[in-house]
Amino acid sequence: MKKLSLIVILLISLNSFCQNADLRLLKTFNAGSMPMWDKTMKGVSFSVFPAMPLTPAGIWAYGYFNKDQEMMRNGYKSAITIGLANGLSYGIKLAVKRDRPFVTYPNDIIQRTKVGSLSFPSGHTAAAFATATALTLSTKKWEFAVPAYAYAGLVGYSRMRLGVHYPSDVLGGMIVGIGSGLLTWQIDRWIRGSKTP
């Protein structure tokens, strides 16, 4: 019983420390008035919406015009990856029901864009990392991977700069996005493996 009490106290302390670190880091990213930078960050956040359909379409089109069946298949897998990431992030949001940081800490966090009420995980970040992972797994070239993940990281940063997500929300979105890509590609390997004689 004494060990159990000690574990509970340790977990509560760790949770409190993580929450405080989460807020401190967010306050750093969100602080100060930078109108031009904030406008740019709104644009970066919004860019996820055209990137989601254009990336799978571009991969598929590359395969189609080059008569590359594998790349065409990668286009389909990319679309599934992004759809899965969006579905998972929305489902987790409904399950966790975490309030936005500007709601919980209205005196500390500045809201700089309009959003819904649920915070964890960051759907924009999940979509951006799903897109980057799909592009990376499709091309297997660092020339695509490095800018794709840099862009996804900037999307995650933009959500914190705009005051709508905690760093832990962004981390959750990263895990959902990357995990969706890895899972989709693994399932495809299993399906193809089961079809080989």
Reported as a single tens digit per residue, the pLDDT across 16-57 is 455 688 899 999 999 998 999 999 999 999 999 999 999 999
How many Cβ atoms from other residues are within 10 Å of residue 113's Cβ? 15
Find out whether 128 and 155 touch, Cβ atoms under 8 Å.
yes
- For residue 20, the model assigns a pLDDT of 81
- For residue 2, the model assigns a pLDDT of 60
Find out whether 2 and 147 touch, Cβ atoms under 8 Å.
no
Tens digit of pLDDT for each residue in 124-158?
A: 999 999 999 999 999 999 999 999 999 999 999 99
Find out whether 188 and 77 touch, Cβ atoms under 8 Å.
yes
Structural domains in the chain, CATH included, are 37-195 (1.10.606.20)
Give the predicted TM-score (pTM) of the model.
0.87
